Amino acid sequence: MFWTSTKRVIRAGFINFRRNGTISTAAVLITTVTLSVIAGLILLQAVLHFSLAQIKDKVDVTIYFTTTAKEEQIMTLKSSLEKLPEVATVSYISAEQALTDFRERHQDDYLTIQALDEVGSNPLGAELDIKAKDPSQYESISNFLEGDTDVAQSANTVIEKVNYHQNKVVIDRLNAITAGAEKLGFGITLVLVIVSILIMFNTIRLTIFIAREEIGVMRLVGADNRYIRGPFLMEGVIYGTISSVLAMALYYPLTLYLGKHMTDFFGMNVFEYYLSNFFQIFLIILVSGIILGSISSFIAVKKYLKK
DSSP H stretches of helix in 221-277:
225-261, 263-266, 270-276
pLDDT at 291: 84
List pLDDT tens digits, range 258-307. Answer: 877 777 666 778 888 888 899 999 998 998 888 877 777 777 777 666 65
Q: Which residues of 278-291 are buried (b: 16+ CB within 10 A; e: fewer)?
A: eeebbebbbebbbe
| Res 2 pLDDT > 70 | no
User: What percentage of the chain reaches a pLDDT higher than 70?
Assistant: 77
What's the chain's average pLDDT?
A: 77
In the chain, ranges of CATH 3.30.70.3040 domains: 67-157
- Better pLDDT: 17 or 67: 67
Q: What is the pLDDT of residues 160-192, one digit of tens each?
A: 787 776 666 766 776 677 677 777 777 777 777
Give 36's contacts (C-beta < 8 A, 6+ positions apart).
Answer: 247, 250, 251
- Read off the pLDDT band of 246 (50, 70, 90): very high
pLDDT number for residue 81? 86
Distance set, CA 192 to CA 45, 199, 240, 249, 273 (Å) = 15, 10, 16, 21, 23
Q: Does residue 79 or residue 9 have the better pLDDT? A: 79
What are 91-124's pLDDT values in tens digits?
888 888 887 877 787 777 777 777 767 766 777 7
What is the reported pLDDT for 152? 66
Measuring CA to CA, which residue among 33, 24, 28 is closest to residue 210?
A: 24
Q: Is the dihedral of CA 147, 148, 152, 157 positive or negative?
A: positive
Residue 211: pLDDT band with limits 50, 70, 90: low
How many degrees, rounded to 5, is the angle at CA 118 between CA 113 and CA 123?
75
Asked if CATH classification 3.30.70.3040 holds for the domain at 67-157, the reply, yes or no, is: yes
The percentage of the chain sitting over the pLDDT mark of 90, rounded to a whole number, equals 3
Please tell me the predicted confidence (pLDDT) of residue 232. 76
Residue 303: predicted pLDDT: 67
Q: What would the mean pLDDT of 45-57 be, rounded to a whole number?
A: 76
Q: Average the pLDDT over 38-60 and give the result.
A: 77
C-alpha span between 261 and 178 (Å, rounded): 26
